[in-house]
Structure 1
Amino acid sequence: MKKLFYRSLSFFNTIESKIAFYPTVLALLGIFFAFLLIYLESLGVSKYLLEKAPILVVDNGNTAMTILSALISGLISVIVFSFSMVMLLLSQASNNYSPRLLPGLISDRKHQIILGIYLSTILYNIFILFSIQPTGDKYQIPGFSVLIGILGTVICIYAFIYFIHNISQSIQISNILKKIYTQSKIRLTEVIEKETPHLSPFPDSEDWHEYHSEKNGYLQNISYTSMIGFSKENDTKLHILPYKGSFILSGIPLFKSQKELGKKQVDQVLQNISFAREELVEDNYVLGFKQITEIILKAMSPGINDPGTAINAIDYLTELLALRMQKKDINVIRKEEVPYVKINTVDFKDLLYQVMVAIRTYCKHDVTLCQKLLVMLHYLLQQKTYNEDYYDNIKEEAAVLLADAKEAITNPTDIDRLTNLAKTFTFQLNHAAKNE
């Protein structure tokens, strides 16, 4: 039952990120509501309303059909324009910032819900229009249902106004950076809070039995509860080899087991590992670092050349790196202080290097950004850390950055300024260490 629950949860998280998920759900609700109103009409709700508040009820069949037809055609025009705006947003974000931002923008729940409101109202009006049937010389008029259709259209108009406002805000790079930073921070904070103090170490898995993947895709989620249950049941320990968020090819080593497993047992382990064809920041905080880094690279490309955006992105990157310094490089899942599952994670050294090497390639010729990067590294040296080795990694990146800047920058004054800045930061750090 637990396996079914976690697999269902993983499936729901996957389809929820699709742009058609919420529109489809709301459209089905619109159809259901239309049939509910048709049933209420058969009970005489319109007749009651006509007696109590006749001004609210349309009592002419031709007028009702004309109103519903006009509402349907108008809403179809609105939804076409809204979809066009979404496609324009995705195209502009991909061209100006990074294609990696598209999954996050597509999964924006506000846009999906607004489009779903349009679809549900259109389908509701269509089914109500079909329910108007001629009876002799008169029409059977669902006056109350027509009133609800008009009110739904008014809601769609206000939703369209909000949609224009929200989409104009979503395309701004400051809001995109803030969203990526917030999602990454939430995910990284969750990972840090789940870590337990160092207790018994995880055994060395070098000589363990190795098993391969049977699927392709990004390693998205792992059911830790089921993994622990499997390990206890089979009296073994598991070591997941790839990083979470890395792309897995069929046939490559996926996990190791302390004891040899049979085919059925291997299948049980694989069922607790889910793959996806896209990456989301909500599942993997490392993707947030990648997206912010790619925004910096895109901003400093010759076609855009926007140092201001790059500086803002470095500010967000600084905060995330400072938070990452509080996390261990090893992720061990325990229960009752007993280690059962080890999961490889991206080391702080590798994460910092991958971020800095990409930025250095595009920004080493820019004095302003080199100064900003030195300030970032100096700030990280002043932060609390889980591992003192992180400080050495930061100092190494500062030295490499300064060396690349000296080769790329030809102006002696600029080189001296960067060199003196690096020396000042080093002196301040050493002075603070002596005072402690």
Structure 2
Amino acid sequence: MSWNRLYRLKNYMRSSLWIIPFLALVAEQVLFRMVMASDEWTRWVPPWPLSVEGTVAAMQAIISLALSFIVFTFGSLLVAIQIASGQLTPRIIAITLLRDNVIRFTVGLFIFTLLFAIGVISRVNTSTPPPSIVWISGALGVLSLAAFLYFIDYSARLLRPVSIIHRVAEQGFAMIEEVYPDVLRETSETQRSYGSLGVPDRVVTHAGTSDIILAVDINFLTTRATRVDGVIELAARIGDFVSYGQPLFLLYGGTATIPANDLRGSIAFGRERTIEQDPTFAFRVIVDIATKALSRAINDPTTAVLAIDQLHRLLRSVGSRDLRDGSSRDPQGRVRVMYRMPDWEDFVQLTCREIRIYGADNLQIARRLRAMIDNLEDVLPDSRKPVLRLERELLDRMIDKVYLLPEDAALARIADTQGLGGSADA
């Protein structure tokens, strides 16, 4: 299996709700038969206290509860998806809700309990079942009830905007550490000065359906380019939409002899962007939540402030790291693969511009943005400060434009990490 197909398979399995319940079905069949086969070695199990009629009634109750739990879980999930799409952003469905292990394992437990209880009641109706399987079924029923009560509380907490934003931010932190592992020093960040290599010897175009680049196997491309003594340049970056026939690779030197299918197999495509290998997408999702909260239909600036809190943390992490030069080198230090990476200016503009445009007329947003910019300018190296100063200047110009009263404009210029509740000076 090629790398891109394996990547898509792993990505699909991580975001599919049916995988864990299906495995629970298989596990139930295996465990039930194991318990039945080993019952003669488990004589220590105490006798089941209920009669045949009582056992049937108990199993029927467990079956009814498990079915109700399954229906409620999927129903609540549909409601959660609708609320998330309408109030926050549809992009959180694939990266948070569908990948939530609590939801998947809870449904798996309910299905496991349901099938186990059905197996027990079928044995009760035909013969005397071993006490062990009846005790296990009863324990599963109690465990499912406890899991259901926990799931109600968990769902209520999961749907809170602050929980969703925090989850996306944590994924963004993890990807930032993976993509940019080195800490920035004033002399460490590599300048993007390799320039153009001229006219490529060969161009490989996209031959599949028009989709978004999700991930690239840089190690494979580096190895192949080193082996044939050439350079591979990616014509598109991760997160770009690539249509049929659009250039994918620009090949120089010996890389022109690499088969096109081998190169295409190193890029994974999909219908929707993911955070894997794409740290800017975490910023994009949180900014979308903030801008939707600032819309006239929702008008929830406090949620936008919560989003800026997480964007502030993400920018501090990015600003303190070496963003590298978008190239992969062989052991001798020669560039073998060139690809475009976002720079510091891209991250700052993605964070600030849209939120400022949509929310500068709100005191909370203007003050929280200023507090973020001031703090970043204080803690980040000097090379990061010019872009931050520009964003503060743009914020001041926007304030002058939208606030008619000088008292309101002066209030909007106060840095406040709470939005509106306590200035930085205080």
TM-score by length of 1: 0.84
Match of 1:98 among 67, 78, 89: 89
Q: Which residue of 2 aligns with 1:333?
A: 328
Matching of residues 3-22 of structure 1 within 5 Å: 7-8=5-6, 10-22=8-20
Partner of 1:288: 282
How far, CA to CA, are the matches of 2:97 and 2:153 in structure 1? 15
* Residue identity matched to 2:38: L
Which of residues 214, 220, 235 in structure 1 aligns to 2:207?
A: 214
2: CA distance between counterparts of 1:199 and 1:371? Answer: 34
The aligned residue for residue 56 of structure 1 is: 48
User: Is residue 296–residue 310 contact of structure 1 (8 Å, CA) maintained in 2?
Assistant: yes
Q: Deviations over 1:194-215 (max 9, x none)?
A: 6997499756334223221123
Structure with greater helix share of residues:
1
Contact persistence 1:59–1:143 (CA under 8 A): no
1:187 is matched with which residue? 175
- What's the CA shift for 1:180? 1.6
Q: 1:269 to 1:302 in 2, by over 3 A?
A: same
Distance 1:316 1:419, change over 3 A: closer
1:25 to 23, 26, 30: 23
- Conserved? CA contact 1:363–1:370, under 8 Å: yes
- Provide the C-alpha distance between the structure 1 equivalents of 2:359 and 2:46, rounded to a whole number of angstroms: 71
Distance 2:203 2:131 in 1: 69
What amino acid is the match of 1:93?
A: A
**What code does the residue aligned with 1:82 have?**
T
Q: TM-score, normalised by structure 2?
A: 0.86
Tell me, what secondary structure is at the counterpart of 1:359?
helix
Structural mapping, 1:154-169, within 5 Å: 154-169=142-157
For residues 268 and 5 of structure 2, the distance between their equivalents in structure 1, rounded to whole angstroms, comes to 8
| Secondary structure of the corresponding residue to residue 245 of structure 2 | coil
SS at match of 1:188: helix
Q: d(CA) in 1 for partners of 2:360 and 2:192?
A: 44
- Between the two proteins, the alignment pairs up a number of residues equal to 406
Corresponding residue for residue 359 of structure 1: 355
> Of 305, 312, 327, which aligns to 1:318?
312
Distance verdict in 2 for CA 1:90–1:184, change over 3 Å: same
How far did 1:5 drift?
Answer: 6.8
Give, in angstroms, the shift of residue 261 of structure 1.
5.6
Which piece of structure 1 moves more, 252-261 or 282-291? 252-261
Distance 2:180 2:196 in 1: 23
Unaligned runs of 5+ in 1: 422-436
**Cα distance in 2, alignment partners of residues 193 and 115 from structure 1:** 37
Candidates 371, 377, 396, aligned match of 1:375: 371
C-alpha deviation, 1:65, in angstroms: 3.7
Deviates most, 92-101 or 254-263: 254-263
Pair 1:69-2:60 in alignment: yes
Cα distance in structure 2, aligned partners of 1:200 and 1:53: 71
Query: 2: distance between equivalents of 1:299 and 1:144?
Result: 54
Distance 1:194 1:65 in 2: 63
Change (3 A) 1:25 1:312: same
- Stretches of structure 2 that go unaligned for 5 or more consecutive residues are 416-426
Shift in alpha-carbon separation, 1:360–1:160, aligned structure 2, 3 A: same
